[in-house]
Structure 1
Amino acid sequence: MSQSINDLEHDIEQTRARLDRTIDQIQGRLSPASIVDEMLGTARQTPAMAGLYDGALAAVRRNPVPVMLIVAGVGWLVHRVARESERRRELDATMAGAESVPVLNTGTARVYDPDRPTAHPAADRVAESLRM
């Protein structure tokens, strides 16, 4: 009986070791560098993309500073757009929770007519003082 338990423990250890190796391989394939390498390798295998890829890579190698500035600018733009989108969502959430204020519409249009006297007491006093 103890022999069968030892055999089971040994099998479990072997299975764990295989599982660890499999997980390590999966993590290696899913690393950002590995994914980029795989995408670039696929792009290079396409005849139309191979020339474009090689030309772009040569341009980046010749001019690394402008490329870094372009990447920084695009990153900044994406950051600003994401931040503005977050603000808009927060404002929408705030406005959704706020009570709505009723708007009274009497139907009368307010049109400025310089020949008619104003209905504002302070403005009427100013007009009276100017006439004197």
Structure 2
Amino acid sequence: MRIGLVTVVVEEYDPAIAFFTGALGFELVEDVPARTNDGRAKRWVVVRPPGAETGVLLARADGERQEAAVGEQVAGRVGFFLHVDDFDAEYERMVAAGVRFVSEPRDEPYGRVAVFLDVAGNRWDLLGKPGGR
């Protein structure tokens, strides 16, 4: 058993793809036409970190309820955790790519961490190994 995908609700597909592939360095795994349950056109868009098994399904908000959830999928808490091998290098690369960090890097018992916002406004932890790099 494994988790294959998690969904991030976004306003539009293309800016979300650009953020995840450009700023975060994820791979675009799938971007194919699909249909909603009631037959309307949509896209099936999956991105994931290089070498990862679990991907992120980028789902364009459909209707008022989903539009209200953009950026608030976990009620303002950190809901996603991006583990990296070299925290300092990834942090610097992401800052240079325009990723908005809402906390400075700090050391916690579970690792080096800084909170950033994705393209939709959801909070993520960038996590490195304890003790820095």
TM-score (norm 2): 0.20
Q: Which has the larger radius of gyration?
A: 1
Indicate the structure with greater strand content: 2
Q: Which has a greater percent of helix?
A: 1
Q: TM-score, normalised by structure 1?
A: 0.20
